[in-house]
Structure 1
Amino acid sequence: MPVDMARTKAFLPLILPFCPECPDFLAEQHARFAAIEFCERSRAWRHLTTVEITGAAGTPVAPDVAAIHEIEFAKFNGKPLTPVQFSTIEAASVGLPRYVTQVSPNELTVSPFEEPGTLEVSVFLKPLTGSEFSTDLNDPLFDRFNVVPQFMVDIHGGTIAAGALAKLLSIPREPWTDERKAARYAIEFRERLDNAFRWNMRGQQRAPIRTVFRDF
């Protein structure tokens, strides 16, 4: 299910009043890094989709501004697949698909691949690291990867801001450096992450447990 995306500049009103001398681009970058950690810990960004698999190469199952953090479950033509590491798949194996694996940040493949079919999958996503500029003619300095799901701004904005401030205020020898405040925000961020994880797990207590971690 697609979600609305928001630019990380939406976090600036929550960050810059407490770190006013920090450049906007740096605050946005650290907001994205905090969002990545939030997604890894909470598994709040769940993405369900159905795609057609036509070959053994990877097939996109998530937005190109996101990375798959974990495969929750997958079915190929209605039959459950086991998530595995790509390195464990035997290229010469034959037969009906038994496994699903991640081959790039947002792509999956099934193995063995015998014929085209339908893949139903649920994955937990996170924002991408890295940068890509000049994709917006009206804003050439916009980093295309500085985006997060809108619900993360609306519901978890304070959490993301706390994580960003914990890192920003701990950068040494900057006009805004404040180790004591950084430590306080770091504690707040960890507590909020724990609460988000517990809340998410309570909401998924009936969900399948077949998961595998892949970090790109």
Structure 2
Amino acid sequence: MIHIFATEWQPLLQGFGQTLLCSIIALFFSLIIGTMFAIFEIMPNKAMRVIGNIYVEVFRNIPLLVITMFFFVVIPLYVVKISGFAAGTIGLTIYTSAFIAETVRAGIQSVDGGQMEGAQSNGLSFWQAMRHIILPQAFKIVIPPLGNQFINLVKNSSVLAFVAGFDLMYQGNMIANDTLQTMSTFFAVGILYLIITMPLSYYMRHLEKKLA
């Protein structure tokens, strides 16, 4: 394994960078999109609730690889050509956002309903009450499951290997095929994934204790 790190550090470093970049982009946008659809699911407007429910149920129940391949194969054929990295990142964002939506929705519904009524009786709109009163409390409640979703997102970023996204898994496969050192290569890849996921896991635990 040390030999792999010493001789193949350049492709491993490139893969690490691609995995980290994909994870950061997907995490940021999936949190925003997921929160938006979570709010849709609990809105008084029935049409918005239906939209939110359809989005969540559809993308939670389609495999990540299918979503990614749709953007990698179908979209370039009929819309616009995009890279494997972009296709993988978009697929990962959409897939993860559906799970985040359900997590955030559960957090919102665990907040006392009287707080929304009280906020609106004091002149706040639905969106103002959601932003300033409900969501801050909901996020405190759902930090543990959100942390699990973020870690799953990093691990699921390996889907980029199927669409030539040049991530860690893709580079690991290339190195293993070239050097025939399969065990050492994937041990190295596993350690690099841990470098991303372990600090994220510890940070989420720290945040949970801090906000308890």
TM range (shorter): 0.3 to 0.5
TM-score (norm 2): 0.33
For normalisation by structure 1, the TM-score amounts to 0.33
Higher strand share: 1
